């Protein structure tokens, strides 16, 4: 039917796919389509949103292709995706030829207005994209879209104060939920949790179905350590709108952390089910559920889940995590053949990239390796933990405990820890000294090498940031260095969301003049 | 969960059945409009009431589904800035066939440069319903008027029929105040419109709907105001 209409108003090269698989095949053939009209409801397998996400994620469509979802009714399940995975338009059936034509023309016109901006984003040239946004503003019909893109860019690259200013400007005209939520996001990143919560609650009280606001409210409580409240909000959301993979995953993680294993298990299972057809699937639920299965004495299902992680995800860190868990399960059941095999594989992975494991996984790996008899790998694993967390006394005590447990004398353990610690302290000190002496270029180069070697060491990342700010305050802004520094700060945020200096540096970075 | 298994969620079941029926109606409407060019003038006149009824049922299903979703707090309500020009053009395009075949002329009076914040799908549902309804009761003329009046978006659908009965006007006022004593399809349409109007809020002001008589043609007037 749609094909007839399209033909009638002169569209050429129309491909009609019978299902999601065929649609993906068409897109894979590399034809450049101006527009894709995709029904939301595609029967078994992927839905229209998931086909779109796959096409976008795998870059089967470029920034010039308009994606339009066709549906009999708009439902909340359809619009749960992240901002970057929002289709260009929705068409509610029935639509006649004239209306379809006019809608298509408008979407394609807007798309071409935004083409340069989206191309810059596609190529990750965020600063160029920002400049293009300012240039394009007010020249055409896509002002709203441009504003949204611009605010997203500012948040993405960490210019939170600028984002805040822009959101406030938008809000002075009209209380738009996306802008108020955006303002809350900026507040969140600047560590102002109470402000973020107040704004998000305002959005929700005006519009309960604005899911993004609920998601960010959860994040603020998570940040404050109030997991109970975070879980309560998520449970309420998943009751009315149970088909968001991301939300179920968040619920699983939070309930798991709280020790609410039944809720966590259910949420993880749902996440895995929802992820089956999604390109945005992550192994987090598999790993979490495997852990719960192990705790609940269900090793067979756990092993199956971990096997699936390897099969379904090309994710080195997740595979490492899975390996460690497998080892622990074999240790529990006393399967010596598999313990040895897993230990060997693990040692090989860690030797290749000792920074692959998060601190938590690294510690579990070390414990496993000690028990498996590979003292050398275990020690080197713990050395990496110490080097990456040289100023975290609680963690260092934990490491000491593990050494003691493995039968090492207290002196020897202290010796290993001190050596690793002083290596990092020396590296850091040299960087700081160079900076103090005004040798900023040298300091930056030194710390850049250090952070390549120890990418999980917060202090090195912060010192690099400090030196970068100093040199730019002196010589003016440098786009490459600004991006590198923002990356650094993002990394700090992941390692320690509560680190206050991150926010201070962030603000300072925003105020550096352009020269 | 166990509790839910014992008492199946009938509303959700009805909603998915409605969704299914709506799909069938889409096929019907597309068929009637798609083959419209092949009909001769007499056949067009004969088919017009059929298209009218099918669209009416479709509108009713749209309304019921929206009411169900808003009531259960999972309607994806989206207050976006919309171009009034684009909005009106699309509504006209979707209704042109029926207007022509019923022999009704639609006069448009709106500010082309105006933009306003509203949920496109919901307001489109409300205005389509009002237009569809007016087509049934008008003599031969309709007017769609959209303008910014006192910082509200004013949408008027006026006809040159005999006007609303006093009972209808009362029902319109009552449903706006939250009392509901109209029934059947009329009640559904009014309830839906009042609900949609109330969802549109801005700085303490709320949307509203009024039925009245008069307007440019002296017939029935449907009036929607959005803050």
Q: Return the ∠ at Cα A14 (arms to A9 and A17), rounded to 5°.
A: 130
> Tokens at residue A183, please?
């303002």
Nearest CA in chain A to B68: A75
B74 close to A75: Cβ distance less than 8 angstroms: yes
Residue B76 and residue A75: Cβ atoms within 8 Å? Answer: yes
A133 inside domain: no
Could you read off the pLDDT of B60-103 as tens digits, one per residue? Answer: 999 999 999 888 888 888 888 999 999 999 999 999 999 999 99
Nearest CA in chain A to B206: A206
Could you read off the pLDDT of A186-195 as tens digits, one per residue? Answer: 999 888 999 9
Residue A96 and residue B94: Cβ atoms within 8 Å? Answer: yes
Which CATH number does the domain housing residue A498 bear? 1.25.40.10
Measured between alpha carbons, how far is residue A412 from residues A363, A378, B208, B211 in Å? 18, 14, 79, 88
Nearest CA in chain A to B22: A72
Among candidate residues A67, A100, A121, the one where a domain is terminated? A121
Residue predicted with more confidence, B2 or A504: A504
A88 inside domain: yes
Could you read off the pLDDT of A128-170 as tens digits, one per residue? Answer: 899 999 999 988 888 889 999 999 999 988 888 899 999 999 9
pLDDT of residue A313: 94
Strand, coil or helix: A123:
coil
The 8-class DSSP code of residue B183 comes to: -
A89 inside domain: yes
SS (H, E, C) B212-225: EEECCCCEEEEEEE
Nearest by Cα to A226 from A268, A257, A191 = A257
Nearest CA in chain A to B204: A206
Could you read off the pLDDT of A457-486 as tens digits, one per residue? Answer: 999 999 999 999 999 999 988 889 998 998
A384 inside domain: no
A442 inside domain: yes
pLDDT of residue B2: 45
Residues of B in contact with A241 (CB under 8 A): 74
When the pLDDT of each residue in chain A is averaged and rounded to a whole number, the result is 92
Residues of A in contact with B19 (CB under 8 A): 72-73
SS (H, E, C) B101-151: HHCCEEEEEECCCCEEEECHHHHHHHHHHHHHHHHHHCCCEEEEEEEEECC
What is the distance between the alpha carbons of residues A210 and A175, in angstroms, rounded to a whole number? 13
Q: What share of chain B in percent tops pLDDT 70?
A: 94
Strand, coil or helix: A165:
helix
Residue B94 and residue A176: Cβ atoms within 8 Å? Answer: no
Residues of B in contact with A99 (CB under 8 A): 90, 93-94
pLDDT of residue B1: 44
What DSSP letter does each residue of A124-140 carry, written as one string? T-HHHHHHHHHHHTTTS
A141 close to B169: Cβ distance less than 8 angstroms: no
A337 inside domain: no
Residues of A in contact with B23 (CB under 8 A): 72, 93
Strand, coil or helix: A296:
coil
Q: Is B213 on the interface with A (CB under 8 A)?
A: no
> Tokens at residue B21, please?
């029926």
What is the distance between the alpha carbons of residues A282 and A246, in angstroms, rounded to a whole number? 9
Measured between alpha carbons, how far is residue B160 from residues A463, A489, B128, B215 in Å? 77, 67, 18, 9
- Kindly report the number of other CB atoms within 10 A of residue B12's CB atom: 12
Best of A94, A102, A244 to substitute, by most chain B Cβ atoms within 10 angstroms, is A94
Query: Side-chain half-sphere of A379: how many Cα atoms within 13 Å?
Result: 16
The region, left, alpha or beta by phi > 0 then psi within -120 to 50, assigned to residue B144 is: beta
Nearest by Cα to A126 from A107, A144, A151, A90 = A151
Residues of B in contact with A91 (CB under 8 A): none
> B2 CB contacts (<8 Å, ≥6 apart)?
none
pLDDT of residue A211: 87
CB-nearest partner of B33 from A73, A74, A96: A96
What is the distance between the alpha carbons of residues B218 and B131, in angstroms, rounded to a whole number? 16
What is the distance between the alpha carbons of residues A331 and A372, in angstroms, rounded to a whole number? 8
Residue B121 and residue A75: Cβ atoms within 8 Å? Answer: no
A441 inside domain: yes
Alpha carbon of B86: minimum distance to chain A alpha carbons (Å): 9
CB-nearest partner of B93 from A93, A102, A174: A102
Q: Is A208 on the interface with B (CB under 8 A)?
A: yes
> A293 CB contacts (<8 Å, ≥6 apart)?
A299, A301, A302, A305
> A473 CB contacts (<8 Å, ≥6 apart)?
A512
**Is it true that the peptide bond before A15 is cis, omega within 30 degrees of 0?**
no
Strand, coil or helix: A87:
coil
What is the distance between the alpha carbons of residues A15 and A13, in angstroms, rounded to a whole number? 6
Residues of A in contact with B33 (CB under 8 A): 94, 96-97
Residue A76 and residue B76: Cβ atoms within 8 Å? Answer: yes
A88 close to A69: Cβ distance less than 8 angstroms: no
Q: How confident is the model at residue A511 (pLDDT cuts 50, 70, 90)?
A: confident
CB-nearest partner of B74 from A76, A98, A102: A76
A431 inside domain: yes
Q: Is a pLDDT exceeding 60 seen at residue A173?
A: yes
Residue B117 and residue A176: Cβ atoms within 8 Å? Answer: yes
Nearest by Cα to B127 from B80, B217, B196 = B196
Give the total number of structural domains in chain A: 2
Q: Is a pLDDT exceeding 60 seen at residue B5?
A: no
Q: How confident is the model at residue B185 (pLDDT cuts 50, 70, 90)?
A: low
Nearest by Cα to B143 from B108, B112, B173 = B108
Across the range A404-410, mean pLDDT stands at 91
Across the range B187-195, mean pLDDT stands at 92
> Tokens at residue B46, please?
């004969």
Burial of A443 (0-12, 13-18, 19+ CB in 10 A): buried
Could you read off the pLDDT of A205-256 as tens digits, one per residue? Answer: 988 888 899 999 999 999 899 999 999 999 999 987 888 899 999 999 999 9
Which CATH number does the domain housing residue A75 bear? 3.40.50.2300
Best of A2, A37, A71, A74 to substitute, by most chain B Cβ atoms within 10 angstroms, is A74
> Tokens at residue A65, please?
């292709």
What domains appear along chain B, each with residue ranges and CATH number? Answer: 3-226 (3.30.565.10)
Q: Is a pLDDT exceeding 80 seen at residue B195?
A: yes
Burial of A480 (0-12, 13-18, 19+ CB in 10 A): exposed
Across the range A170-188, mean pLDDT stands at 94
pLDDT of residue A515: 60
pTM of the model: 0.87
A104 close to A59: Cβ distance less than 8 angstroms: no
The residue assigned the tokens 């009972």 is B167
Q: How confident is the model at residue B182 (pLDDT cuts 50, 70, 90)?
A: low
> Tokens at residue A131, please?
């400049």
Among candidate residues A91, A121, A151, the one where a domain is terminated? A121
Nearest CA in chain B to A237: B74
Among candidate residues A103, A121, A139, the one where a domain is terminated? A121
The 8-class DSSP code of residue B36 comes to: G
Element housing A94 (H / E): none
> Tokens at residue B64, please?
């019921």
Could you read off the pLDDT of B153-173 as tens digits, one per residue? Answer: 999 999 999 999 999 998 888
A373 close to A346: Cβ distance less than 8 angstroms: no
Q: Return the ∠ at Cα A361 (arms to A357 and A365), rounded to 5°.
A: 95
Main-chain dihedrals φ then ψ at residue A499, nearest 5 degrees: -65, 115
Nearest by Cα to B84 from B108, B58, B55, B59 = B108
Residue A208 and residue B73: Cβ atoms within 8 Å? Answer: yes
pLDDT of residue B183: 67
Q: Return the ∠ at Cα A419 (arms to A414 and A420), rounded to 5°.
A: 100
Q: Is a pLDDT exceeding 70 seen at residue A376?
A: yes
Q: Is A26 on the interface with B (CB under 8 A)?
A: no
Could you read off the pLDDT of A107-126 as tens digits, one per residue? Answer: 999 999 999 999 999 888 88
Residue B80 and residue A144: Cβ atoms within 8 Å? Answer: yes
The region, left, alpha or beta by phi > 0 then psi within -120 to 50, assigned to residue A93 is: beta
Q: Domain range holding A16?
A: 1-121
The 8-class DSSP code of residue A84 comes to: G
CB-nearest partner of A98 from B25, B73, B93: B93
Nearest CA in chain A to B59: A94
A363 close to A399: Cβ distance less than 8 angstroms: yes
Q: Is A175 on the interface with B (CB under 8 A)?
A: yes
Residue A79 and residue B77: Cβ atoms within 8 Å? Answer: no
What is the distance between the alpha carbons of residues B102 and B138, in angstroms, rounded to a whole number? 10
Residues of B in contact with A243 (CB under 8 A): none
In the beta sheet, which residues pair with residue B153? B148, B226
Residues of A in contact with B72 (CB under 8 A): 240
CB-nearest partner of B29 from A94, A175, A209: A94
Nearest by Cα to A137 from A146, A128, A125 = A146
Across the range B192-208, mean pLDDT stands at 93
């Amino acid at each position: 039917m749609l094909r007839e209409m399209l033909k009638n108003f002169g569209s050429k090269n129309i491909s009609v796919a019978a299902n999601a698989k065929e649609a993906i095949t068409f897109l894979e053939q590399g034809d450049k389509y101006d527009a894709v009209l995709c029904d939301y409801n595609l029967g078994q397998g992927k839905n229209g949103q998931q086909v779109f996400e796959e096409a976008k994620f795998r870059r089967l469509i470029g920034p010039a292709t308009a994606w339009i979802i066709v549906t009999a009714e708009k439902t909340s399940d359809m619009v749960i995706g992240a901002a970057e995975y929002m289709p260009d338009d929705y068409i509610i059936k029935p639509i006649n030829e004239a209306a379809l034509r006019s809608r298509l023309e408008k979407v394609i016109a807007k798309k071409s207005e935004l083409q340069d901006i989206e191309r810059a984003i596609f190529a990750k040239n965020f600063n160029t994209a920002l400049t293009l946004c300012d240039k394009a503003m007010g020249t055409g019909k896509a002002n709203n879209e441009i504003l949204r893109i611009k605010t997203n860019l500012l948040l993405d690259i960490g210019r939170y104060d600028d984002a805040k200013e822009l959101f406030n400007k938008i809000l002075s005209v009209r209380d738009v939920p996306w802008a108020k939520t955006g303002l809350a996001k900026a507040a969140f990143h600047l560590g102002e949790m109470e402000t973020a919560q107040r704004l998000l609650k305002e959005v929700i009280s005006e519009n309960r179905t604005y899911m993004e606001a609920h998601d960010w409210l959860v994040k603020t409580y998570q940040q404050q350590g109030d997991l109970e409240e975070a879980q309560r909000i998520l449970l309420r959301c998943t009751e009315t709108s149970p088909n968001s993979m991301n939300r179920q995953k968040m619920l699983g993680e939070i309930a798991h952390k709280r020790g609410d294993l039944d809720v966590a298990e259910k949420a993880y299972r749902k996440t895995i089910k929802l992820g089956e057809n999604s390109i945005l699937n992550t192994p987090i639920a598999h790993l979490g559920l495997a852990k719960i299965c192990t705790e609940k004495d269900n090793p067979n299902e756990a092993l199956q889940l971990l096997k699936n992680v390897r099969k379904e995800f090309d994710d080195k860190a997740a595979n490492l995590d899975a390996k460690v868990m497998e080892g622990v399960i074999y240790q529990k059941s006393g399967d010596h053949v598999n313990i040895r095999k897993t230990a060997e594989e693990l040692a090989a992975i860690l030797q290749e990239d000792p920074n692959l494991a998060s601190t938590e996984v690294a510690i579990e790996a070390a414990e496993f390796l000690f028990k498996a008899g590979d003292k050398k790998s275990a020690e080197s694993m713990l050395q990496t933990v110490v080097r990456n967390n040289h100023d975290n006394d609680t963690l260092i005590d934990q490491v000491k405990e593990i050494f003691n447990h493995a039968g090492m004398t207290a002196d020897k353990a202290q010796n290993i820890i001190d050596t690793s610690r002083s290596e990092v302290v020396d590296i850091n000190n040299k960087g700081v000294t160079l900076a103090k002496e005004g040798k900023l270029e040298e300091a930056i180069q030194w710390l850049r090498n250090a952070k390549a070697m120890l990418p999980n060491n917060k202090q090195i990342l912060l010192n690099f940031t400090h030196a970068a700010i100093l040199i730019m305050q002196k010589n003016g802004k440098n786009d490459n260095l600004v991006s590198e520094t923002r990356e650094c700060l993002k990394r700090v945020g992941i390692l320690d969301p509560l680190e206050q200096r991150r926010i201070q540096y962030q603000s300072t970075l925003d105020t550096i003049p352009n020269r | 969960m166990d509790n839910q298994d014992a008492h199946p969620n009938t509303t959700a079941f009805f909603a998915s059945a409605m969704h299914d029926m709506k799909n069938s109606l889409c096929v019907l409407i597309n068929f009637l409009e798609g083959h419209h060019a092949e009909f001769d003038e007499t056949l067009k006149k004969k088919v017009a009431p059929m298209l009218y009824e099918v669209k009416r049922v479709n509108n009713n299903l749209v309304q019921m589904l929206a009411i169900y979703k808003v009531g259960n707090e999972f309607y994806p309500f989206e207050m976006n800035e919309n171009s009034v020009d684009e909005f009106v053009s699309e509504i006209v395009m979707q209704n042109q066939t029926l207007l022509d075949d019923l022999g009704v002329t639609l006069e448009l009076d709106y500010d082309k440069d105006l933009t306003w914040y509203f949920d496109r799908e919901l307001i489109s549902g409300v205005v389509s319903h009002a237009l569809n309804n007016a087509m049934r009761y008008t003599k031969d003329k309709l007017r769609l008027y959209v303008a910014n009046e006192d910082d509200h978006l004013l949408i008027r659908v006026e006809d040159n029929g005999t006007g609303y009965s006093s009972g209808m006007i009362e029902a319109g006022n009552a449903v706006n105040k939250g009392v509901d004593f109209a029934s059947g399809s009329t009640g559904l349409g009014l309830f839906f419109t009042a609900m949609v109007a109330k969802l549109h809020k801005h700085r303490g002001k709320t949307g509203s709907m009024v039925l009245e008589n008069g307007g440019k043609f002296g017939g029935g007037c449907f009036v929607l105001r959005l803050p």
